[in-house]
Amino acid sequence: MSSPLRARTWQAALLGGLLTLVTAACGGGPDGAGGGQQSADSGAIPDNQALLTAIKADARLTAALPAKVARAKTLHVASNIQSAPNNFYSADGKTPIGYEVDLAKAVGAKLGVTVTHQDLAFGSLITSLQSGRVDLTMAAMNDTAERQRQIDFVDYFSSGITIMVRKGNPDAVTGPDTLCGKKVAVVQGTSHQKFAAAQSTKCTQAGKPAVTVTATDSDTQNQNQLRTGRVAAILNDLPSAVYISRTAGEGKFFEVVPGQPIEGGPYGIGFAKDNTKLRDAVKQALQGLIDDGTYGKILQSWGVEQGALKEAAVNGGS
C-alpha cells in the first residue's frame, strides 16, 4: 500500500503546525468535512509532475471534445479550494494543489488540454455550471440523487465519515457504537453533526449513554480539543482525516479508526446537463487513468488510496 514517494512525503510533512483554518466550509459544503483554508510548504506535498508529464493525449478523446473546449484547448474547473488534501493552496497562497488538482490535470492531459482552476464559494458551483461560467466542477462534492436533478456527475472518489482519535486510541473508540457516552467534536452545519446527533439517539434508544456532541467553527478547534483530551473523537471526511492524522505533529498526534467510511458515497466531477459530450469524454479519460494505474498512483501519493474507485461511473451516487 505504501511507496517510497509516499513515505518520503509523509516523513517530510511538518504540517501539524502549518495547518491554519480560516473558514469553516469544506469541499462537500453542507455534506462535507468542515475542513478549511489550508496552505502547505511545497516540500511537504507529493511531486507528481513527472507522472503527469508522462500522460499521453488520446487523440480520439480530444476529437470528441465540445467545440468550445477544443477551441480554447483549456478546461475551466471550478472548485472550493480550502480542504487538504482534496484541494488547497501551496505556500505561495495562490497555486492550487491536492489530489483533486492532480487528477484534474491528469484528465486534462489525457484529453490534450490544459486545466485552469477558479476558486468559488461551494454554494455557487452548481449555478456556475448551469450558467456556462465553467466547464466542470471538482470540489469534493457528493454525488447525490438530489444533485443529479440539477447536474450530471462522473464519480472519481469514494468518501464518507471517518472517526479520528488520539494516537494510541486511549478511549478505545472502534466504531460508531463505541461513541456512546463519549464526547465527540464536529464542525457546525456539516453532515458529521447530523450523524453524531443520530448516533446519540441510537445510543439512548438502546439504553446507553448519549453522545455529547461539541460543534465548533473549525477543524483546528476540534483538533485542539482532541489533543487535550476534552473530546474522545472527531468526525471528519476520509481524505481530511487521513491527511491530518499523517501530518499533524509529524503523525504523532492522531490516528484514524480502521474500517469502511460511514455513510460512504462517491465524490463527483460536475457537468451541466446539456454538456454530455464533455461529460462522456472526461469519463473515458478518467477510466483510462484508472486502468493504466496513473489514477491509483496519484491517490497513493496523497495517502488516500482507500477511497479509490474501479469505475468512473456517471451519476453513480444515490
Quickly list DSSP for 174-204.
Answer: -SGGGGTTSEEEEETTSHHHHHHHHHHHHHH
Q: CA-CA distance, 156 to 120, in Å (whole number)? A: 20
Residue 312 lies in a domain: no
**Among 262, 280, 296, residue at a domain's last position:** 262
Place of cell 456539516: 190
Query: Structural domain tally of the chain?
Result: 2
Q: Give the model's pLDDT for residue 189.
A: 81
**Among 226, 245, 262, residue at a domain's last position:** 262
Domain at 197, CATH number = 3.40.190.10
Beta bridge partners of 96: 89
Place of cell 439504553: 207
For 84, the grid coordinates are 487538504
Query: Which residues, including other chains, have CB under 8 Å from residue 240's CB and lie 6 or more apart?
Result: 26, 33, 35, 83, 84, 85, 86, 219
Residue 315 lies in a domain: no
Same-domain pairing of 113 and 39: yes
Instruction: Read off the DSSP letter of residue 59.
Output: H
Same-domain pairing of 299 and 203: no
Same-domain pairing of 95 and 223: no
Beta strands per DSSP E along the chain: 39-40, 74-79, 88-90, 96-97, 114-119, 136-137, 151-166, 183-187, 212-216, 233-237, 254-256, 262-272
Q: Give the model's pLDDT for residue 40.
A: 52
Beta bridge partners of 13: none
Range of the domain at 237: 161-262
Same-domain pairing of 37 and 144: yes
Closest CA to 309 of 262, 273, 280, 269: 269
Same-domain pairing of 116 and 255: no
Same-domain pairing of 187 and 298: no
CA 14 to chain centre: 20
Tell me the CB-side half-sphere exposure of residue 313, using CA atoms within 13 A. 16
Same-domain pairing of 188 and 78: no
Alpha-carbon torsion 160, 166, 168, 170, what sign? negative
Q: Give the model's pLDDT for residue 83.
A: 82
CA 150 to chain centre: 21
Q: Give the model's pLDDT for residue 122.
A: 87
Same-domain pairing of 21 and 138: yes
Same-domain pairing of 132 and 279: yes
Residue 179 lies in a domain: yes
Residue 314 lies in a domain: no
Q: Give the model's pLDDT for residue 217.
A: 84
Q: CA-CA distance, 282 to 112, in Å (whole number)? A: 11
Same-domain pairing of 192 and 59: no
Same-domain pairing of 108 and 247: no
Residue 286 lies in a domain: yes
Q: Give the model's pLDDT for residue 190.
A: 80
Residue 290 lies in a domain: yes
Residue 317 lies in a domain: no
Q: Give the model's pLDDT for residue 207.
A: 98
Instruction: Read off the DSSP letter of residue 78.
Output: E
Tell me which H or E stretch contains 312.
none
User: Residue-wise pLDDT tens for the chain (318 aa)?
Assistant: 333 333 333 333 333 333 333 322 333 344 443 344 444 544 458 999 999 999 999 999 999 999 999 999 999 999 999 888 999 999 899 999 999 999 999 999 999 999 999 999 888 999 999 999 999 999 999 899 999 999 999 999 999 999 999 999 999 999 999 999 999 999 888 889 999 999 999 999 999 999 999 999 888 899 999 999 999 999 998 898 988 998 899 899 999 998 888 988 999 999 999 999 999 999 999 999 999 999 999 999 998 888 999 999 999 998
Q: Give the model's pLDDT for residue 84.
A: 87
Residue 90's SS3 state is strand
Q: What residue type is 107 in one-letter code?
A: V
By the 8 A CB rule, do 271 and 278 touch? yes
Residue 250 lies in a domain: yes
Same-domain pairing of 22 and 37: yes
- Count the helices and strands in the chain (H runs, E runs): 12, 12
Closest CA to 270 of 287, 288, 282: 282
